[in-house]
Amino acid sequence: MRKRIAVMHDLPSFGGAALMNTIPIMYNMGIEVNPIPTALFTSHGGFKGVKNIGNDAFLDEYLDQWDKLKLSFNGIYLGLFTSLNQVIFAKKFLNRFKAEDNIVLLDPIMGDNGKPYSFISDESIENIKSLLPYADIITPNLTEAYLLLGREYNENPKDSEVLDILSKLSLIGPKKIVLTSVLKGERISTFLYDSSSESIKEYCRDTLDGYYPGTGDAFASVLIGSMLQGKDLETSVCKAINLVEKAINILNDEGLNPMEGLPLANADLIRELI
C-alpha cells in the first residue's frame, strides 16, 4: 500500500522550493503527497519583489474534511509558517493526526548564513519553537539552531559546542536532530544526533560555491521520503545529502540558473529517488 504524507509548507509559483520541490520528490519516491499550503508566494523568497499571502482563513477546511474522510498519514512534514495562526493550526492538525506509528518531521525554516529571514520576528521564532515537542525529527541549519536556542551565531563552532546545541535542542522535544550547514574550513558538515542513545554522527563534504535556493526543502523531503520507504534515519540522511549534491552538480554541469531551482526532472536524479 502506498505511503501517504501530509505536508504543510508554502507554495511558490516560480522557482523550485517548498511544495514545488516536495511534491515531485515524494511522488518519484512512490509516496502520496497531501499538501496544505500555509502561504502563497509569487516566487520563492530568493527573488526581489516577491509577494505572499497567508492561507490562514482556509486552513481549518483541510482539517474538517480530512477528519470526516477519516484520513490517516504515515508521515507529517512541517515546513514554512508565516503566522501564529498557521502554527496554531499545525498543533490542531497534529493533535488529530499524529500517531505512534507515523513520523513527524519539522524543518524550522527561519534563516540562513547567521541571520533570520526578513519576515521572521522574535515572536515567529517562539511560535516555531513551540512545535518542537510535536516533532520526532527536526532538520535545522546552524543559523536556525542558534535562533531556536536564543544564542549568538557562531559560524565555526567547535565540536563540543555542536554537541551542546544538539543536546539542548533535544531537551525541548525532538529525539532525533539533523543539523545542517556547519562550516569547517573548506568543508561543510551535517550532524545526526539521537538523544535516546546519545549517539552523534558527522557527514562532511566539500563546500559548493554559489547560492542554491530550495536545497533545504529537497533535503528534508528526501530524508522523510526515504524513511517512509522503510530506510533507517542514517541511511536516509546519507541519501538526502547525496541527492542534493548530485542535483547541484547536474545543475552546474548543464549551465542552468540555480535561482530557478534544482533539476528535479533529470532522469538520473529520478532514478536516485526510486
pLDDT single digits (tens) 52-87: 999 999 999 999 999 999 999 999 999 999 999 999
Pick 2 or 10 by higher pLDDT: 10
SS3 87: helix
* Res 1: pLDDT: 80
Residue 274 clears pLDDT 80, i.e. is over it: no
The percentage of residues in the chain with a pLDDT greater than 70, rounded to a whole number, is: 100
Q: In 3-state terms, what secondary structure has residue 140?
A: coil
Cell readout for 125 is 521564532
- Can you tell me the mean pLDDT for 9-36? 97
User: Number of folded domains in the chain?
Assistant: 1
* pLDDT attached to residue 208: 84
Beta-bridge partners for 248 = none
pLDDT for 209: 84
**Across 245-272, average pLDDT:** 93
Q: Give the model's pLDDT for residue 272.
A: 84
Q: By residue range, what is the domain housing residue 134?
A: 3-273
Mean pLDDT of 233-244: 97
Give the confidence band of 30 by pLDDT, cuts at 50, 70, 90.
Answer: very high
Q: Which helix (H) or strand (E) holds 42?
A: none
pLDDT digits (tens, 9 = 90+) for 132-149: 999 999 999 999 999 999
The residue among 202, 205, 218 whose CA lies nearest residue 258 is: 218
Phi/psi class of residue 18: alpha, beta or left (left: φ > 0; alpha: ψ in -120 to 50)? Answer: left
Average pLDDT for residues 181-190, to the nearest whole number? 93
pLDDT (tens digit, 9 = 90+) per residue, 145-157?
A: 999 999 999 999 9
CATH of the domain at 109: 3.40.1190.20
| pLDDT class of 91 with cuts at 50, 70, 90 | very high
**pLDDT for the residue 162:** 97
Count Cα atoms within 13 angstroms, Cβ side, for 216. 28
In the predicted structure, residue 273 carries a pLDDT above the cut 90:
no
Average pLDDT, integer, range 245-270: 94
Q: How do the residues of the chain divide into helix, strand and coil, expressed in percent and rounded to 5?
A: 40, 25, 35
Asked if 179 and 190 touch (Cβ cutoff 8 Å), the reply is yes
pTM: 0.96
% pLDDT > 90, the chain: 91
Beta bridge partners of 193: 177, 200
> In the structure grid, which three cell numbers stand for residue 168, read together?
539542548
Tell me the C-alpha to C-alpha distance, in Å, between residue 261 and each of 57, 84, 156, 200, 253.
29, 28, 28, 31, 14
Look up residue 220 and give its amino acid: A
Question: Average pLDDT in the 212-230 region?
Answer: 97
DSSP letters spanning 65-85: HHHHTT---SEEEE----SHH
Judged on CB neighbours under 10 Å (0-12, 13-18, 19+), 81 is: buried
Would you say residue 251 has pLDDT above 80? yes
**CA–CA gap between residue 218 and residue 163 (Å, rounded):** 25
What is the three-class DSSP state of 54? strand
Per the CB < 8 A criterion, the answer to whether 103 and 137 are in contact is yes
Q: What does pLDDT average to over the chain?
A: 96
Three cell numbers, residue 130: 513551540
- Residue with the larger pLDDT of the pair 139 and 271: 139
d(CA 86, CA 8): 9
Residue 145 DSSP symbol: H
Distance CA 184, CA 187 (A): 5
